Structure 1
Amino acid sequence: MRHDGFGIRILGPLEAVNGASAHRPRGPKVRKLLALLAVRAGDIVEVDTLVEELWDGSPPPTAVSTVRTHVYHLRQELGRELGDTDVRRVITTEGTGYSLCLAPGRLDLEQFTQLYGQARTDLRAGNAEAALERLDTALGLWRGRALADVSRGRVLTGHGARIEELRSRAQQLWIEVIMILGRHGEVVPELLRLVAVDPLNEWLHARLIDALYRSGRRGDALRAFHHVRNVLAEELGLEPSDDLRRLQHHILAGGAAA
């Protein structure tokens, strides 16, 4: 049984919500516990997996009983802070572990993944405007780095990398759709932000150079090429990719910008 008003947000700081109320669980191990249940929502998370994550491979002899205590305190805290009188039906005890049982759409990661998938379907069908609308909604669910206030052990680190990769793919698809729609000038500020965050990502640099050129900013596009060439040489000892070099030659040759 699921409580339709109860939800979890992990695309940013970890939050439990119930209606208009929101709560960030206290205590690093309690946050880890809820985070792991959330990234595996609907599955049974084995006690051994929880032990591995909570103590990073070096558990005390009392680890299993301590996990039970943490689950008890988590249920008590959520029930007290969010007014849910039956948290045991949200965080259920199974034979070998625990499971987080949420109503459909009550985990922001689930919403994000569905919207991203629908946007890809829209784009394949030739409906770029619908794809852009879904991607705007999907990326708007993010409030920062996934599980930003949760210290991660080995298990959560793997899940976090997977979730961040999904975000990166959605951002790239958003960029592609904006450019398909011919709105090159609009995407430049976001591309500048993204290359500052990920300066070795040649795909992002190529899209920035292309967007600048197609916006009528030929000089800025060439400066952006020289910048990424210098970054790659200094950081990795590499030359720009074929994609980047083709863009440079196209710009120098004065190829059509649209």
Structure 2
Amino acid sequence: MEFGVLGPLEARMHNKSIVPTAGKPRQILSLLAIRAGRVVQVETLMAELWGNSIPRSAATTLQTYVLQVRRKLTAAGVQQTGRSAKDVLETCYGGYRLTPDEFSLDLLEFQQMVRLGGRTLAENDPATASEQLSRALDLWRGPALTDVPIGEVLSTEVIGMQEERAWALEMRLEADLSLGRHAEIIGELRMLVSQQPLHETLSAQLMTALYRAGHPWRALDAFQSLRHALIKELGVEPSPRLQRLHQAILANDTDLQVPSATLHALSA
């Protein structure tokens, strides 16, 4: 079975889609796929489907939705594995568990690749890290579960995915800066900063890229834009880290240039 949650929901068995048409069964399948191999409690599923407005018929309705997912499994030929739909989507004490013999989930692949890219970057191999993190980010096909109604449980899961994606992007940009690709990523950084004007790390990366590209005045403008946004929205000044970067740009600090060791490695 193959599952994809980094974009529209994808779920396939034997190359046949098992994604339900209706919204609430999609929610159930999404949550079971994200937590494949683990029991998802009935209370958790009900909270996802109905929040604090759980109807009296919730238990029976939930069973109906589970039955719809099992019918999709049967229609996709689950019996070819020697198991029934009830075996793959088990009823457990207090909940349900999705237990395919073999399955892939793009979220797990993404998380593994991000961890690998982070370790590689920490080991001072930005070229490999940039490639690994780029491959991880390429797994995203759009906003997570964009075609699935999101309740309170999936909302938490999606927030976690988005945070991991943001962290992977920051690391990839940092790797690219280390590789001297500052001119190539200025446009991307400008777009990201315009979307997140209070994000200090992205602003710092933009300032560094602009300075290295020979535009120190634009780097200083980027700092002032961040400062004005922080004061207006939060009533605070930029962090000491950003203020030190600002002072380094004013002083034309040579430490802001691409490390000579990196340049030597790239030219070797």
TM-score range, shorter chain: 0.7 to 0.9
Residues 1:8 and 2:3 are matched in the alignment = yes
Q: How does 1:161-200 map to 2 (within 5 A)?
A: 161-200=159-198
Q: How does 1:1-258 map to 2 (within 5 A)?
A: 6-18=1-13, 21-22=16-17, 24-77=19-72, 79-80=74-75, 82=76, 84-85=78-79, 86-102=84-100, 106-256=104-254, 257-258=256-257
Amino acid at match of 1:219: W
Q: Give unpaired runs (5+ residues) of structure 2.
A: 258-268
Amino acid at match of 2:53: S
What TM-score results when the alignment is normalised by the length of structure 2? 0.85
State the shift of 1:56 in Å. 0.6
State the shift of 1:139 in Å. 0.5
Runs of 4+ in structure 1 displaced over 6 angstroms? Answer: none
Amino acid at match of 1:64: A
RMSD: 2.1
State the shift of 1:52 in Å. 1.7
CA distance in 2, matches of 1:114, 1:75: 30
Q: Which one is further off, 100-109 or 199-208?
A: 100-109
CA distance in 2, matches of 1:184, 1:83: 51
Preserved CA contact (<8 Å) 2:23 2:148:
yes
Amino acid at match of 1:255: D
**CA shift in 2, pair 1:203/1:69, >3 Å:** same
Preserved CA contact (<8 Å) 1:105 1:111:
no
What TM-score results when the alignment is normalised by the length of structure 1? 0.88
**Residue matched to 2:264:** none
**CA shift in 2, pair 1:89/1:121, >3 Å:** farther
Preserved CA contact (<8 Å) 1:15 1:25:
no
Q: Which one is further off, 162-171 or 107-116?
A: 162-171
**CA shift in 2, pair 1:66/1:208, >3 Å:** same
CA distance in 1, matches of 2:13, 2:191: 34
Q: Secondary structure at the match of 1:30?
A: helix
CA distance in 1, matches of 2:21, 2:144: 17
Amino acid at match of 2:27: K
What is the aligned residue count? 252
Preserved CA contact (<8 Å) 1:7 1:102:
no
Q: Which one is further off, 242-251 or 206-215?
A: 242-251
Preserved CA contact (<8 Å) 2:5 2:107:
yes
State, as a whole percentage, how many aligned pairs show the same letter: 40
**CA shift in 2, pair 1:125/1:153, >3 Å:** same
For the pair shown, the structure with the greater C-alpha radius of gyration is: 2
State the shift of 1:223 in Å. 1.8
Deviations 1:190-240 (A, max 9, x none): 222222222211111111111111122222212211221222222222222
